[in-house]
Structure 1
Amino acid sequence: MKIYARGVLVKTHARVPAGHRSTDVEDLPAERTAYALRDIDRLVADASAHGAAVGEFAKVVLDHPLPWTKMRQVYKLLGLCRRYGDDRTDAACRRALDAETDSVTVVGRMLERALEAETTEDDPVPDNVIRGRFARGDDHFAVTPSGVTR
């Protein structure tokens, strides 16, 4: 295939079978190459520039059999960095990693509600628990190797 501009040959592409395409990376704008080529490593590097936890969270999101289907989620994560700042987003991603979630929507809600820095304290176990006389002991519910309870 030959491409002309005002009668001047500009570009040639080799013939490809029907249903296929020929894309020359040199024809793409430099700032759009990562989008067009589905460059996962570039996305992780961009996310890591906003914070270590953001980069690690991006890796978790992209850890998928078809990672290019999750690229928009990482773009959303980068948008959260621009909107709420790197420090807050990094803290929210760290908290999301601790909770073992890979949902960018959850990170966004944490940032909207300003929950990224909130910590949860464990409720102390009361030491005055009274066992009722009707309560059975643990050995009553034990299962034998044959599967029958005692």
Structure 2
Amino acid sequence: TRRQLFEELDRPALRPLPVERYVFAEWRIRRAGLDYHVEIERHYYSVPYRFAREQVEARITANTIEIFHKGERIAAHRRSSGNGKHTTIPDHMPSAHRRFADWTIERIQREASSIGPEVALLCEKILADRPHPEQGFRACMGIIRLNKSFGRDRVNAACSRALEIGARTYGSVRSILDNHLDRAASTNGPASHEPIHHENIRGPRYYH
């Protein structure tokens, strides 16, 4: 009978069920960026900084993200929604970056706004220009700290001048202050920063 065959053949070969239930996982090949983060579903997960620019494999489940390099697991994260933000483990950072771990985009925006609208606008543009906003943290923090040496009015005027000439680095703002070019900007009133309209500029409608 079927029962006899099961007892004689199948049952001796059976093994216990796994302790953990099977979890469906999807594998994808990725390359870590210069900021040692890997993009998965519009979210960025850190790996140890020494693996920056290295090709890695990501094991993706409903709840976790595991990242492997040549078969070795180098990072594990709880999966986050695709919100364009970063999940960073402090131990993955090079020592120079760990000093900035308590800074966030929101804190930079708050500190910049407390100095003046031009500082806030310049920092916003610096962060927007970077593939990952964290890459602009150093420049924004340097600009914010210029307030201690030069005062709120001069830093705000210098940022206005930087916006006028399209300079979006800490070094440019510092140079404006060192050469007193911020005083020329302050006499001309706040910059309008309005978009430029010209017949040679296609504009957004050209691409729709």
Task: State TM-score, norm by structure 2.
Answer: 0.41
* Aligned residue number for residue 170 of structure 2: 104
Once residues 167 and 100 of structure 2 are traced to their aligned partners in structure 1, the CA distance between those partners, rounded to angstroms, is: 25
* Aligned residue number for residue 20 of structure 1: 75
* Aligned residue number for residue 134 of structure 2: 68
Task: State TM-score, norm by structure 1.
Answer: 0.55
Contact 1:38 1:68 in 2 (8 A): no
The sequence identity of aligned pairs, in percent, is: 27
Q: Which amino acid aligns with 2:164?
A: D
Contact 1:50 1:90 in 2 (8 A): yes
> Aligned runs of 1:108-123 on 2, under 5 Å?
108-118=174-184
Q: Please state whether the residue corresponding to 1:69 is helix, strand or coil.
A: helix
Residue 37 of structure 1 and its aligned partner are, at CA, apart by 5.4
Q: Which amino acid aligns with 2:144?
A: L
How many equivalent pairs are there?
Answer: 95
> Aligned runs of 1:30-45 on 2, under 5 Å?
35-36=100-101, 38-45=103-110
Residue 21 of structure 1 and its aligned partner are, at CA, apart by 6.7
Contact 1:53 1:93 in 2 (8 A): yes
Once residues 81 and 103 of structure 1 are traced to their aligned partners in structure 2, the CA distance between those partners, rounded to angstroms, is: 16
* Aligned residue number for residue 53 of structure 1: 118
Q: Does the C-alpha gap of structure 1 residues 21 and 38 become closer, same or farther in structure 2, counting only changes over 3 Å?
A: farther
Once residues 47 and 117 of structure 1 are traced to their aligned partners in structure 2, the CA distance between those partners, rounded to angstroms, is: 20
Residue 67 of structure 1 and its aligned partner are, at CA, apart by 1.2
Q: Please state whether the residue corresponding to 1:101 is helix, strand or coil.
A: coil
* The one of 70, 78, 86 aligned to 2:152: 86
Once residues 116 and 38 of structure 1 are traced to their aligned partners in structure 2, the CA distance between those partners, rounded to angstroms, is: 27
Q: Which has the higher strand share?
A: 2
> 1:95-123: per-residue Cα shift (whole Å, max 9, x none)?
1111122122111011011110226xxxx
Residue 50 of structure 1 and its aligned partner are, at CA, apart by 0.6
